[in-house]
Amino acid sequence: EKEILTLGIESSCDETSAAVLRGGRTVLSNVISTQIPIHQKFGGVVPEIASRKHIVNIMPVIDEAVRQAGVTLTDIDQVAVTYGPGLVGALLVGVSAAKALAFALDKPLIGVNHLEGHIFANFLAEPTLEPPFMALVVSGGHTALVDVRGYDTFHMMGQTRDDAAGEAFDKIARVMGLPYPGGPRIDALAKEGDPLAIDFPRALEEKGNYEFSFSGLKSAVLNYINSEKMKGHELRKADIAASFQHSVVEVLVEKAFDAVQRAGRDTLVLAGGVAANSGLEARLRERAAETGVRFFYPSRILCTDNAAMIACRGYYQAKHGDFSDLYLNAVPGLGL
């Protein structure tokens, strides 16, 4: 029996991506066209420009994904697309392209939640992974601990009350004069700094609390930078980056392992763009080794926005008969 080919499409923020998946876990292609250089001069993503670029890129990216997979469009069995959360204009481009293709090819359409896609990147990275497991989702827009009880059963343990972890990384980098996106820059700077140089606050540290809050930390770092500037001091950027990152990482690691224990899980996975953070990954790996918890995280390319993870999530939804109709719309504030 022929294995199902799923075309995945992702356009929720500043990456236009298309991928072809064979079965649930074999990536035949994963084409990503990033707009980062375009948005860099504005210090962040400009939604209107993002939508326009997605329109220009979407069909060439889909064609390239199909070509790289060594198939043709007519071989595709189903089309999976991110319909939220994200920027409405950006989402609409992917959703419209997916609906047009599904209609023209007369193949099923599957609307995918972007956050679930990030979690499912781990199935691509680790062939032996099966639910149940705990997922720490840390992206530019979200920070959450999700108990993945089955392929279609997710229990939200807790999420951020205010800023997402990635948002804090980007904001602090911006104030230090580093280009967008700030996460990777802070990560690199932090390697040269002292994580204990400055004592930044940590929020909601009590055990059993799985909510996050990063706005207080963000303000503390911004205040520190302003007061240093006012005193005419040279900014110790590496120490600021290292101390800030340390504060974020410690909170994420403590809560993640507390949640693993509370839910009685033996496996933890990392998901979302901030999963690419080397300090976070190192600390989680260390704690996992100490506690005997299995720990997986996707490769860099599968951590940040990509369509392979969307195709993977779509494949498992389709297995459960969870299809969308051609009225599928973008839902910018879609939750888990």
Using the rule CB under 6 A, is 94 a contact of ligand KG4? no
C-alpha to C-alpha distances, 124 to 140, 238, 248, 280, nearest whole angstrom: 21, 34, 27, 21
Closest to 206 in 3D by CA, of 167, 240, 169, 251: 251
Residue 14 binds: one of Zn ion, ligand KG4, none (C-beta under 5 to 8 A by kind):
none
Residue 187 binds: one of ligand KG4, Zn ion, none (C-beta under 5 to 8 A by kind):
ligand KG4
Q: Contact 5/77 with Cβ under 8 angstroms?
A: yes
Q: How far is the CB of 99 from ligand KG4 (least distance, A)?
A: 22
Among 8, 117, 131, 181, the residue binding ligand KG4 under the rule CB under 6 A is: 181
Q: How far is the CB of 288 from ligand KG4 (least distance, A)?
A: 19
Q: How far is the CB of 108 from ligand KG4 (least distance, A)?
A: 25
Residue 8 binds: one of ligand KG4, Zn ion, none (C-beta under 5 to 8 A by kind):
none
DSSP assignment letter at 2: P
Using the rule CB under 5 A, is 139 a contact of Zn ion? yes
Residues 76-115 that bind Zn ion (CB under 5 A): none
Q: What is the DSSP string of 176-213?
A: TTPPSSHHHHHHHHHTTS-TTSS-------STT---B-
Q: How far is the CB of 254 from ligand KG4 (least distance, A)?
A: 18
Q: Contact 310/82 with Cβ under 8 angstroms?
A: yes
Q: How far is the CB of 140 from ligand KG4 (least distance, A)?
A: 3
Q: Which residues sit opposite 270 in a β-bridge?
A: 136
Q: Contact 256/134 with Cβ under 8 angstroms?
A: yes
Q: How far is the CB of 35 from ligand KG4 (least distance, A)?
A: 12
C-alpha to C-alpha distances, 66 to 5, 102, 127, nearest whole angstrom: 10, 15, 23
**Residues within the annotated binding site for substrate?**
137-141, 170, 183, 187, 277
Cα distance between residue 139 and residue 148, in whole Å: 18
Structure tokens at 168: 């804090």
- Neighbour count for residue 74 (Cβ, 10 Å): 9
Among 10, 116, 147, 170, the residue binding ligand KG4 under the rule CB under 6 A is: 170
**Which one, 84 or 184, has the nearer CB to ligand KG4?**
184
**Residues within the annotated binding site?**
114, 118, 137-141, 170, 183, 187, 277, 305
C-alpha to C-alpha distances, 132 to 22, 151, 154, 267, 317, nearest whole angstrom: 23, 8, 10, 8, 16
**Which one, 96 or 139, has the nearer CB to ligand KG4?**
139
Cα distance between residue 180 and residue 82, in whole Å: 23
**Residues within the annotated binding site for Fe cation?**
114, 118, 305
Among 182, 193, 298, 314, the residue binding ligand KG4 under the rule CB under 6 A is: 182
Reported as half-sphere exposure (CB side, CA atoms, 13 A), residue 292 has a value of 2
Using the rule CB under 5 A, is 14 a contact of Zn ion? no
Q: How far is the CB of 68 from ligand KG4 (least distance, A)?
A: 21
Using the rule CB under 6 A, is 298 a contact of ligand KG4? no
User: Edge-to-edge, what's the strand order for the sheet holding 5-10?
Assistant: 26-34, 15-22, 5-10, 78-84, 109-113
**Which one, 310 or 318, has the nearer CB to ligand KG4?**
310
**Which one, 6 or 17, has the nearer CB to Zn ion?**
17
Piece of 87-95, 135-143, 217-225, 289-297 that binds Zn ion (CB under 5 A) = 135-143
**Which one, 112 or 328, has the nearer CB to Zn ion?**
112
